[in-house]
Amino acid sequence: MYDVIIIGSGPAGLSAAIYAKRAALNVVVLEEAPFSGGQMLNTYEVDNYPGFSGISGMELATKMRTHADKLGVEFVTAKVTEAELTGSVKKVRTDREVYEAGHVIIATGARHASLGVKGEELFTGKGVSYCATCDGAFFKNKDVAVVGGGDVAAEDALYLARICKKVFLIHRRDKLRAAGLLQQKLMEQKNIEFCWNNVVDEIVGETAVESLRLCHVISGEKITLPVQGVFIAIGNRPQTELFTGQINADRTGYLIAGEDGKTSVDGVYAAGDVRAGHLRQIVTAAADGANCINSIVEQISRMQ
Ligand code: NAP
């Protein structure tokens, strides 16, 4: 029986684990893959986590993990299959065993969204990718496209521009959502070309991606864009399916919780990208983890 079970080991889960250990709580972190680190691992460069200017996502994740390890946090690699959260003793079933605790922090993060167009599924791993830092090297000196207009699309395009011959940035509007500094860097990059107001209708090829069919959302004009790779960066979906029906969520599935992390179920907290909120950054995820532990410590002291 633990004080706290943390599900997920991205920045929210790792921060919660560090705060839990410092509060002398008995804590276990359940993670699907060893050293998951969450979406940080797919980030080439993080330039807005205070004190770590320009650090790679991998290095920042490693530093956080080392910090948790030094404090003696117990990590278990296991896939959570079911969670019974309503009673005073929470039961989290995994493919290995059942874990019990008085409190559960859900820090399961988010997963990439799909375009849902013809060819996307067929060519995933054959030119369609959702991770530029993982797959970019396969497209050295080739022409590729990035779809999206947020921070991830901008970062992916900048990363790929260093490796590929040409990068087309395809966005459904004529304004990017990405941070101003990233936009500035994109404009300065000679081998990035913008395809404004365009959506992908189809991903075309024989055995791998050969081109994209684009449609201009205003004129309706359709063109074929020859590329060997397409990186889809159109946002994320929360990983909250396991908790559907047990915890109040917004219409897109993000768990509703205040700054204190408390969800609609007593003793259950949400931290990081799974929590409904405006800003989803490493720094806000880390803050969420800390807030959840603070709430748990307060609750435990009230009960004593
Ligand atoms: P995002 O900010 O939600 O942006 C998604 C982009 O994809 C938007 O430009 C959106 O267009 C476009 N889009 C959505 N659905 C689409 C569709 N079906 N077809 C075509 N385009 C579509 O997502 P993100 O870039 O993945 O970032 C996720 C979160 O992580 C954000 O909060 C971001 O700030 C954060 N992040 C932070 C950092 C950092 O701080 N270093 C780095 C990466 C990510 P519209 O603009 O028209 O809606």
Protein residue closest via CA to atom 22 of ligand 1: 234
Could you give the CA distance from residue 55 to residue 64 in angstroms, rounded to a whole number? 13
Does the annotation count 164 as an active-site position? no
Task: List ligand 1's pocket residues with C-beta within 6 A.
Answer: 46, 48, 115, 147-153, 155, 172-173, 177, 199, 233-236, 280-281
CA of 36 to the centre of ligand 1 (A): 22
pTM value is: 0.84
Paired tokens of 150: 């947020």
Over residues 166-195, mean pLDDT:
97
Does the annotation count 156 as an active-site position? no
Task: Report the pLDDT value the prediction gives residue 258, as an integer from 0 to 100.
Answer: 95
Could you give the CA distance from residue 8 to residue 127 in angstroms, rounded to a whole number? 29
CA of 254 to the centre of ligand 1 (A): 16
Q: Specify the ligand 1 atom closest to the Cα of 233.
A: 26
The pLDDT tens digits of the residues spanning 213-223 come to 999 999 999 99
Task: Among 130, 169, 234, 282, say which to mutate for ligand 1: greatest number of ligand atoms within 8 Å of CB.
Answer: 234
Query: What's the start-to-end Cα distance of the chain, in Å?
Result: 17
The pLDDT tens digits of the residues spanning 223-235 come to 999 999 999 999 9
Candidate list 131, 201, 215, 260, residue with the active-site label = 131
Protein residue closest via CA to atom 31 of ligand 1: 280
pLDDT at 212 over 80: yes
Residue 206 contacts residue 229 (beta carbons within 8 Å):
no
Does the annotation count 135 as an active-site position? yes
Task: Report the pLDDT value the prediction gives residue 47, as an integer from 0 to 100.
Answer: 85
CA of 144 to the centre of ligand 1 (A): 19
pLDDT at 140 over 90: yes
Candidate list 47, 69, 95, 134, residue with the active-site label = 134
CA of 276 to the centre of ligand 1 (A): 15
The pLDDT tens digits of the residues spanning 95-138 come to 989 999 999 999 999 989 999 999 999 999 899 999 998 889 99
Paired tokens of 7: 């599900």
Short-list 296, 261, 289, CA closest to 15: 289
Q: What is the DSSP letter of 244?
A: T
CA of 195 to the centre of ligand 1 (A): 16
